[in-house]
Each structure stands twice: as C-alpha cells, then as structure tokens.
Amino acid sequence: MAEERLIRKYANRRLYDAHDSRHVTLDDLRKLIAAGQRIKVVDDKSGEDLTRSILLQIIASQEQFGTPVLSTQLLEAIIRFYGNPIQQMLTSYLEQSIGSLLRQQSVLQAEMAKALETPMAPIAEMARQNMEMWAKMQASMLSAFSTQGAPAEKGERADKADKPEKPPRPEPGRRRS
C-alpha cells in the first residue's frame, strides 16, 4: 500500500500537505484517498494524531452534501453497536466486507480493461463457440440421417432375400400370354 502522506492541521484549522507544500481542503483529501493515497493528519503543535477525526469529517460532508452511502437505518444500527460487547466483531466484519468489495471491484476493473484493450475478443470468442455448436449440430444431424438411411437399406435387402421377386405387372392394354 502507498506510504502515508503527512497532513498538518494548524491552529487556524487549515490543513497543510507537507508532501506538496500547499494548503488543502477536506475535498482535496477526499480525492487523495479516493485515488488510493493513505493520509495521516497531525496537530502541528501537539503532534496528536487527528486522522480519524478528519476522516469522519470527510464522511460527514459526503453524506450531507454528496450522494449518501450510509442509510439512516445503517447509521442507527452502527450507533447501537457502540458499547456493545460485539462492537469489535462489527468492526472486523465491516473491514472484511469492504476489503472483499474492493477486491471484487479490482477484478471487475481488470476484466473491463482487458475487454477494452481487445474489444472484439469477446465477440470473436462467442463466434467461435457458435461455430463449434453449429458444427456439432450439423454432425449430429448428418449422422442421424445416415444411420436412418442405412438400416432401411439393410432391411430392404433382408426382405428381398426372404421374399420371391414379384413378376412385373403387365402394361395396361396388353394381355398376358
């Protein structure tokens, strides 16, 4: 994972990115995190770690002004777990669930990138499979027709050997002698 990016919080509540030597906003930090960057926010004077507080502020602003991820029912359920003996289990569960979701997203993105690199590959594969099915279907139909015709001929030959041949019919208008 990426190295933590140091963000200093000054007494005037401004945030300073020590890596880029510039002041940043909560939205700038959100974009960094969304891009996969890890951050660590510390109070400039005391050195106290303020990362959780800043992350919660970013989540609160997204929930209030952006498209919410956490429903009211989910927030209420999370609040009910505070102080509950299984609070740690919830934390573990949520971390594993989010990790699993991120892995699935990564696999999906890789598959999409592969499809975009060779956009005709899925279509070519589908065409190949269709041709295989068509060939199998033709082969089975041909074998079905050829096996149906073969026993009939054998059966006719067997019947001819057992029965005497009938004399030819006289043509109409001619008499037999």
Residue 57: partners with Cβ closer than 8 Å, 6 or more residues away? 26
Distance in angstroms (rounded) separating the CA atoms of residues 87 and 90: 5
Q: Tell me if 126 is assigned to some domain.
A: no
Averaged confidence pLDDT in the chain: 83
Q: Tell me if 163 is assigned to some domain.
A: no
Q: Tell me if 91 is assigned to some domain.
A: yes
Q: Tell me if 123 is assigned to some domain.
A: no
pLDDT digits (tens, 9 = 90+) for 66-124: 788 999 999 999 999 999 888 999 899 999 999 999 899 988 888 888 777 776 777 77
Per-residue model confidence (pLDDT) at position 142? 79
Give me the mean pLDDT over the 5-29 stretch: 93
Distance in angstroms (rounded) separating the CA atoms of residues 117 and 166: 75
Q: Tell me if 38 is assigned to some domain.
A: yes
Q: Tell me if 50 is assigned to some domain.
A: yes
Domain count, the chain: 1
Query: pTM for the full model?
Result: 0.58
CB 48 within 8 A of CB 82: no
Q: Tell me if 171 is assigned to some domain.
A: no
Q: Tell me if 160 is assigned to some domain.
A: no
Q: Residue 175 pLDDT more than 70?
A: no
Q: Residue 2 pLDDT more than 70?
A: no
**Residue 103: domain span:** 4-117
Indicate the pLDDT class of residue 126, thresholds 50, 70 and 90.
Answer: confident
Distance in angstroms (rounded) separating the CA atoms of residues 103 and 106: 5
Q: Residue 12, class by beta-carbon neighbours within 10 Å (0-12 exposed, 13-18 middle, 19+ buried)? A: exposed
